[in-house]
Amino acid sequence: MFSLLGGVFLGWSLGANDASNVFGTAVSSKMLRFWTAACLASCFVVLGAVISGQAGIETLKGLTNFDIEQAVISSVAAALTVTLMTIFGLPVSTSQAVIGSILGIGFLNHQLNLQGLGKVVACWVGTPIGAAVVSIGLYYGLAALYNKLRLNLFQTDSLLRLSLIAAGSYGAYALGANNVANVTAVFVGAGMLSVFIAALVGGASISLGILTFSRPVMETVGKKLVQLDPFSALVVVLAMAITMHTYTLVGVPVSSSQAVIGGVLGIGIIKGVRTVNRRTLINILVAWMLTPVLSCLMALAIFFVIHLKYIPS
């Protein structure tokens, strides 16, 4: 059980960081109380992980074969990378960190599933682009419907709130389904956990992160999206959820932060305004390239440190 702590730590940091992508808009703009959002997110993350998380776990498990020690090294390296990148304020992707550390251990084992890796990297590129496309389509579709309804101010308010809760819950479900593989797939690969238990433990640790440490992140990170009007914010959350759910069906864990940024960019394209500034874009690009490399190096470093032996002269 002690070996699972690395995975639980990773799940906890994932929950603390990524819940803001789902309910950040609603909480930071006081549309929804933090505890309501946290409870909804926690429940739906676990549901998503248990019901739809298996495909992602199978993909990551298939990338390389680990023993228990390597699984622990891999998850600790990913967790440390996520923590480091967060300290430096870079928009980190847990999925990229996990893949980076799996690669590092894979190099050592001389076992790399390059076909599976190609699929994963292609999906990384596709995440923001896909979310942008989904958000553009959703915006036009929902706007036509919304304008047809001719609701008054109070009905509009009620509809937007309910929709944000529904979209956020769906987003939490998609987050759990998609990202649970990052947390516990390596332990399945090492034969330590069954797929179902891995999904349950992963989902629970993400939930723990949401319940214990997501409040400051939700209240600060979410504000970056509040500049959008409520309808656009709803579209962004929904686009993120749909994108992540689609990648869940493909079986590839992707970054919810990158999906959100893609959604926001899509709204910017429609409205002809710059919704994400150049600095944020540069940070994303830097983090996008740096995260897997850093995580890979971190895994290798931890592995070498653990295997250092004192040879008396």
Partner 1 sequence: MRSNMLKQLNISHSYLRPHLTSTFQAGKAGSMFNFLFNKEQQVQALIFAYLEIFPEIQKNFLKALQACLLSGTMCQDFDFYIKQTHKFESRADDIRDEINDLMYGKALIPDARGDIMEIIASFDMIPQLFEEILYLLQTQRLEVPSFLIQDLKELVRLSLECCDLVVQQAKLFLKKSKGIRSVASIIDKNESHCDHIERRLLTRLFDSDTDPFQKLQVKELITELGKISDRADRLTKMVSIVQMKRRV
Contact positions toward partner 1, by CB under 8 A?
29-31, 139, 143, 146-147, 150-158, 160-162, 226, 229-232
Q: How far is the CB of 290 from partner 1 (least distance, A)?
A: 36
- Determine contact, residues 311/101, Cβ cutoff 8 Å: no
Least distance in angstroms from the C-beta of 202 to partner 1: 32
- Shortest distance, position 137 Cβ to partner 1, whole Å: 14
Sign of CA dihedral 22, 25, 26, 30: positive
Closest CB to partner 1 among residues 32, 200 = 32
What is the Cα–Cα distance from 14 to 251, expressed in whole angstroms? 18
Closest CB 146 distance from partner 1, rounded Å: 6
- Angle (nearest 5°) at CA 225 between 137 and 272: 50
Give alpha helix (H) positions in the chain: 5-28, 34-52, 54-61, 68-87, 94-109, 114-149, 153-189, 195-221, 223-226, 230-250, 256-271, 278-306
Q: Is the Cβ of residue 30 or residue 274 nearer to partner 1 in the bound state? A: 30
First to last CA, the chain: 38
- Of 155 and 212, the one with the shorter C-beta distance to partner 1 is 155
Which residues 6+ apart lie within 8 Å of 158 measured at CB? none
CB of 140 to partner 1, least distance (A): 10
Residue 142 CB, nearest approach to partner 1 (Å): 8
| Minimum CB–partner distance for residue 153 and partner 1 (Å) | 6
DSSP state, residue 14: H
- Which of 115, 83, 106, 99 lies closest to 16, judged by CA? 83
Nearer to partner 1, 114 or 149 (CB): 149
**Residue (26 or 190) nearer to partner 1, CB:** 26
Residue among 111 and 227 whose Cβ is closer to partner 1: 227
Helices 68-87 and 153-189, interaxial angle, to 10°?
Answer: 140
Residue 312 CA to residue 282 CA, distance in Å, equals 49
Q: Which is nearer to partner 1, 143 or 301 (CB)?
A: 143
Residue with tokens 């709130």: 161
